[in-house]
Amino acid sequence: MADIVKQYTKFIFPFTFVPEALLPEQAKIQSKKNKPLPLFTPFAQGNESLREGLADLLSNSGCSAQIARCLQLNVDYRKYIHLPPHPEDTLEFHPRQADVAPQQVAITNIKLYLFESQVGFLELECAYSSTSIEMFSTLNYYIGEIKSKKNHFALQEKSWDAETKQATWTPHEFSVKELIDRILQQICFDRKDGELVPAEDPQQYVAFSYDREKPLVYSYLLLSDKPDNIGDLLFHLNKNYKETYLYDASCTKVDTLHPFENSYWTASLNGASNISYLTENETTNAFFKGQFYQKTKDVYYFLFLNVIHQRHAIARTMGEIGHLDKLGKDYAIMHEQLRRARTCEENAVNLKFRAFFKYPSTVIHVNEYYDLLQKTFAINDLYNNFTQEIKNLTTICNTYVERIKQRETKLKKRKAAWTEIFVSLFGTIVAEITLFNNSWTLIERFFGHPLEIWSVPFFILVVAVISPLFAVITNIKKQWDEIKVLSEALYLEENDGQVEDDKTRRKKVRAFMKEMRKNHKNRKPYLYF
């Protein structure tokens, strides 16, 4: 039966964050010489053999092509979060299942990847003392099951009493979630009076999905011989299942890549894993124990990180679309909706330009591995659906904005027509009274005697005064017809174009316009009249 020769598992916890508050570079500890040391130190994720242009994506060079900050836990800080002082030291892991014995597990490293898209990944790298393949799958399952606090680590913490010169050992237990929360407490900050202080509530700045999802799992297994049940093993690693889950090849699809005779890649939405085994060729064995083992941590993991970032960055931007308010009739609200939709569209283009790439290597099987990941995580379909959704939303918002503009224009025209009617009536009445009075006085002075009613001059005066009224009445009728047309148009827009008979429609239009005037008087913000 095949045993494990070399192995590791990386548990990757996706999250979104507020860049101004998540500042691991600012977190410091005091060294033995009372000098401040950073809790996390920058590093560059390995990318040997990838094509030119990709090297800077996850580097620490600070160049314009860099899309993420890569940081790893300072070894001197391990004891502050209740980890053994050395990466190779083990803790005792207790699964929640009573019939599974506690196992020795080493947490060899903790890393942070903080992308410019405000998507981050916290990596917990573990190594197991057990050489059993079944126990490897079981530990992956239970450590990744972070919702249950019954899955926990335990260790004896050593403290030294200088006076008695004796060591005491204190038992300490913690879950993976408690470990992560302890780290966040150290690297999240509030700003008070212009200074950084530890955050009172780190959860408001960093959003993990503990309750809904398990972490992604990326693992490597090098076995002493080819296992008889390679299909079962690929299934359990692909789904991150323990051994009690049974595999049926006829109804379960497992995405795999078989680049070498003795090596398999498998990928799913749960992560990616490699299974390799030793052969009778010592040169081949030396390659898989050394160079290939390191490549799984560098090149292959580099591509895996970029693919899961692509997926989660798309999901985050789609979440921004979901936060947009519902469609309405307020111009200011809809104009803001349109602005935010266009911002999402710009972010999508920028994401594609900065973080998406094809053919990362001149090595064929590396490109095939990257294609497997992109297919498994449905990156192209997700991005195309995402951009189409943004395009549709932008079109809808723009249509609403234009309709609201047209509606406001009609309301302004209607108000202007009413104003012109009132001005015409008032102006005409004043002008006619003034004209009649002045003309009467002028005629009396001209003839030298009082003007007689029903005389020819009187009728001439009446005709001269009344004649302009016809033009005014014609203009008022024109404005009134325009008001009716605009009122009916506004009514039809409000009622989605429903058409009734003329008498019913006129009644409803009058009631509708009366309601609009009432709303305007009460200053309802969503109606402009």
Of the candidates 228, 271, 253, 229, the one whose C-alpha atom is nearest the C-alpha of residue 141 is 271
- Using CA atoms, how far apart are residues 280 and 297, in angstroms rounded to an integer? 25
The backbone region for 10, taken as left when phi is positive above 0, alpha when psi lies in -120 to 50, beta otherwise, is: beta
pLDDT at site 514: 64
pLDDT at site 302: 94
Distant-in-sequence, close-in-space partners of 472: CB < 8 Å, separation ≥ 6: 424, 425, 428
pLDDT at site 222: 95
pLDDT at site 195: 86
Low-confidence residues of the chain: pLDDT under 70:
1, 31-33, 160, 209-213, 246-252, 321-332, 404, 444, 446-449, 451-452, 454, 456-457, 488-529
Query: Residues 227, 258: contact at Cβ < 8 Å?
Result: no
| pTM over cut 0.75 | yes
- In the block, tokens 């001005």 appear at 423
- Using CA atoms, how far apart are residues 326 and 337, in angstroms rounded to an integer? 9
Work out the end-to-end distance of the chain between its first and last CA atoms, rounded to an integer number of angstroms: 83
pLDDT at site 328: 60
Dump pLDDT digits (tens) for 147-166: 888 999 998 877 767 777 77
- Using CA atoms, how far apart are residues 406 and 120, in angstroms rounded to an integer? 44
- Using CA atoms, how far apart are residues 121 and 301, in angstroms rounded to an integer? 13
pLDDT at site 94: 93
- Measured CA distances, 446 to 217, 333, 464 (Å): 110, 67, 17
Query: Residues 246, 272: contact at Cβ < 8 Å?
Result: no
Query: Residues 204, 189: contact at Cβ < 8 Å?
Result: no
pLDDT at site 344: 80
Dump pLDDT digits (tens) for 174-203: 999 999 988 998 899 998 888 888 898 888
pLDDT at site 6: 95
Take residue 329 and report the two structure tokens written for it. 């009739």
* 3-state SS, residue 44: coil
pLDDT at site 136: 93
